[in-house]
Amino acid sequence: MKTIVVQIGNSDNKLRQAEWADFVQRVGGIIHEYAESIYFFGGPENWSVLQRVCWVFDCEESHLPAMKPRLADARKEFRQDALAFTEGETEFI
C-alpha cells in the first residue's frame, strides 16, 4: 500500500470558478476510484487569493499505473501546467 498526496492549484487563474470546481471534482472522482482510504481533502480559506486543494490517501501500488495517466489527462484537459503527485511509504512510529 502506498500513501499518495495529490495537489492541484489555479494560481495562474487559467480557470474560471466553475472550471476550477469541475477540475476539483474530476481529480477527486479519479482519486475516489482508486483510493483505499482518504485521510485528508482540503485547501485554504475560500477567500484566499490562490485556489488549491490537496488529497492524502492510501492506494494499492498496482493501481498507480492506471491512475497516474488519468490524472495527467485531467490536468491537460483543464489546461494546467502541473499536478503534484507524491508517493511514499507511511511509517508508524
| Range of the structural domain that residue 72 is part of | 2-88
Query: Is the Cα dihedral 11, 36, 40, 86 positive or negative?
Result: negative
* DSSP H or E stretch at residue 60: none
Total domains, the chain: 1
- Please tell me the predicted confidence (pLDDT) of residue 44: 92
Q: pLDDT tens-digit profile of 7-62?
A: 999 988 999 999 999 999 999 999 999 999 999 999 999 888 889 999 999 999 99
* DSSP H or E stretch at residue 90: none
- Please tell me the predicted confidence (pLDDT) of residue 46: 83
What is d(CA 49, CA 55) in angstroms, rounded to the nearest whole number?
A: 20
**Residue 93 belongs to some domain of the structure:** no
CATH of the domain at 48: 3.30.70.60
- Whether the per-residue pLDDT at 69 is higher than 90: the answer is yes
- Please tell me the predicted confidence (pLDDT) of residue 47: 86
Q: Look up the pTM and report it.
A: 0.93
